[in-house]
Amino acid sequence: MINKFTFFWVFLVLFSFSSIKTLGQSFTSDSYQIQFGNFNMTGGRKTSDTFILTDTVGQNTPGRFTKNGMIIKSGFQYAYDINYKFSFSIDNLDIDFGSLAPNVGTTQTNIITITTPTGHGYEISSLENHPLTTIDTNSTIPDTTCDNNDCDQTISKVWVEDNIHGFGFNAIGINTSGVVTDIGTSNYFPDSTYFRQFADNSNNEPAQIFMSENQAVTDHSAKVTYKINVSTNQPEGSYQTNISFIAVPKY
């Protein structure tokens, strides 16, 4: 019994004299002293051919904590979850059709590309200011109604006939090599023969979605094909409109 008491007191005395090493940091000037309880060094996601390691070095109480449906991910290692930003690009803004020959469908293309953050899909919609119109004479090239007069801004249909006139577009998902994948666009355009109108803002039509996915994506692209076919009666002139491509994440 005495041995146990002696040991306890010896331990207590020795412990009280031992120095406790702290890992804090402080900076001082003539007027201020700033003390840091801990010194954060590094963290994040490291990969090799065979491993993925996420770590947090320096920060107090890093980890994944859950309670009552709430999840807290504390530490740099979780920062990559939200590091993917929302990006959208259009590779060519000016669509120049040059001189149009009557009864011949003329096309031009550009490529749109999107990247979304973790946990978010996306949708891209389009809207034209007004149908293609000349500034001076106010002549218009009407929006296409496709081969069987059955497409509009919400529905795509086949448009291949040379005697069907108008202005419309098609969008087809492609990969980084330009190979058709239909990803993102197959619900809107079954193939490259399908076209639809742009929603007409001057007619109070809301922008219409033509490309979307429900999961996060990186650099998903679509080739947008613009098509014009005019009749022999179409007045000469320089026709123009503005087409807006609107990209938003899925909430």
Partner 1 sequence: MANFNLTISPAQIEYLLKPGVTITQAYEITNNSSENIYLNSEVLPFIPQGNNGSVTYQNITPNPNITFSLSNANLALGQPFILAPNAKQQLVLKIKSSSNTKLSDSYYTFFVYQVQGQSSTNLPQTTGKIGSHILLSLTDTEDTKASGEISKFNLTPKIKDVFFTPLKFNGEVKNNSSFFFKTTGKIILTKNDQIVKEINLEDNNVLSNYYRQINCQNLTNCTLKPPFWPGKYTATLEFDKSLNIPSSSISFFIFPISPLIILILISLLVFIPLKFKKYFSKSKI
Q: Which residue ranges make up the site for partner 1 (CB under 8 A)?
A: 68-71, 82, 85-97, 110, 116-117, 119-121, 123, 129, 132, 135, 206-207, 209, 212, 214-215, 226, 238-251
The DSSP code sequence of 15-79 is: HHHSPPP---EEEE-SS-EEEESS---EEEEEE-SS-EEEEEES-SS-EEEEETTEEEEESGGGG
Query: Three-class SS of residue 201?
Result: helix
The DSSP code sequence of 100-147 is: PPTTS-EEEEEEEEEE--TT--EEEEEEESSSEEETTT--EEPBP-TT
Distance of closest approach, residue 23 Cβ to partner 1, in angstroms = 31
Length of the chain (residues): 251
Closer to partner 1 by Cβ: residue 119 or 235: 119
- Answer for the pair 142, 131: CB distance below 8 angstroms, yes or no: yes
Distance of closest approach, residue 209 Cβ to partner 1, in angstroms = 7
Q: What are phi and psi of 71, to 5 degrees?
A: -120, 125
Judged by phi (left if over 0) then psi (alpha if -120 to 50, else beta), residue 182 lies in left
Distance of closest approach, residue 12 Cβ to partner 1, in angstroms = 45
Distance of closest approach, residue 218 Cβ to partner 1, in angstroms = 13
Distance of closest approach, residue 52 Cβ to partner 1, in angstroms = 14
Distance of closest approach, residue 171 Cβ to partner 1, in angstroms = 12
- Token pair 């076919």 is found at 229
